[in-house]
Structure 1
């Protein structure tokens, strides 16, 4: 069922900072409107939202490749250095029958970033091609993407914890490897994409 009534069509806009709903008025060229409550600039929609989100998502895809291919952790045991990727760590936990830990890391490090990237691409394509079906489901998916974004850093937290705790008399040490930087950048980009995206654009495309 199409939804045609929007606040913009009714002449209303909301402040992105404080959420105050404002009645629009005629403006002159290049005039900047400000919120009477918080004095922030106000717009019907976040400026250049789609362009910025596309840039962040494409960057996330490019960074996600080395994040999974390069080693994310190095363990030095009695002078022998061993490197492992994200998948190496997941396979290790499954081999050790630590299915719960392996599943958590697999979900947080692989499934969640992949879901966020694919989900945002679907939403962006829906706006570009003006797909009118399933708008409620896409909004629900976007809200879920916003919610789970913070859990993507779980793998980094595990490495930081191991680096602090795994030290047996100086015989063993754990250090972060290059993939940590790429993976952290993926998380930042996907979270920034969710914050930059203006979900009201879905209804505008209807």
Structure 2
């Protein structure tokens, strides 16, 4: 049990987020740089909770106009027609276009909201010092981090569509204000993931084990 309670930070060891090397700072230095990739080493990310909450709240605020405002405006001889993300999902739904409709629904509505909820859950449980389901929470964080790499796909698709479909004066497509807010949601959630330090999840376990030892020895 004593070995399980000892963490790398308690041993003065630092894990590099760039290459994963476990090393110890130079004598006399509290934190240093990775000897392999020269990345700055930190025992814990500074102000991780505060910065993650700030980015997450900003993402949640931008999520509303991203779904309410139009993301694309199509101009034809019959006039201009603006569509929100959900309207685009409905328009794409057809016997042949339903796979694309589902992709847009999942990538543009379900995944951003799931990322916001997942990060909020991680923040709340970690700040409360929860020690339950730590393995599942780490897996959740890694999944959110992995999905974040593909979050800009929908923005790129809309941008390319607006750039390619320019048949003036017959037809043209322009990005709407909702696309800007959607891109802001993606960026803020990515920054929130990067700001969150998953090592904080395990600090509660170490603190609880240390407290139990003090009670036992007392």
Bin the TM-score by the shorter chain: 0.7 to 0.9
Question: TM-score, normalization: structure 1?
Answer: 0.88
Query: Which residue in 2 is equivalent to 1:144?
Result: 143
Name stretches of at least 5 consecutive residues in structure 1 with no aligned partner. Answer: none
1:161-200 equivalence runs, <5 A:
161-168=160-167, 170-200=169-199
Query: Which residue in 2 is equivalent to 1:20?
Result: 21
1:2-151 equivalence runs, <5 A:
4-23=5-24, 27=28, 33-78=32-77, 80-95=79-94, 98-151=97-150
**What SS does the corresponding residue of 1:150 show, helix, strand or coil?**
helix
> How many angstroms apart in 1 are the aligned matches of 2:36 and 2:144?
30
Name stretches of at least 5 consecutive residues in structure 2 with no aligned partner. Answer: 206-218
Aligned-CA RMSD value: 2.2
Residue deviations 1:175-206 (CA, integer Å, cap 9, x gap): 00111111101101111111121111100122
Question: TM-score, normalization: structure 2?
Answer: 0.83
1:100–1:42 CA distance, 2 compared to 1 (3 A): same
Of structures 1 and 2, the larger Rg is shown by 2
1:170–1:156 CA distance, 2 compared to 1 (3 A): same
Residue deviations 1:104-161 (CA, integer Å, cap 9, x gap): 0000001111111110111111111111111111111111101111222222122122
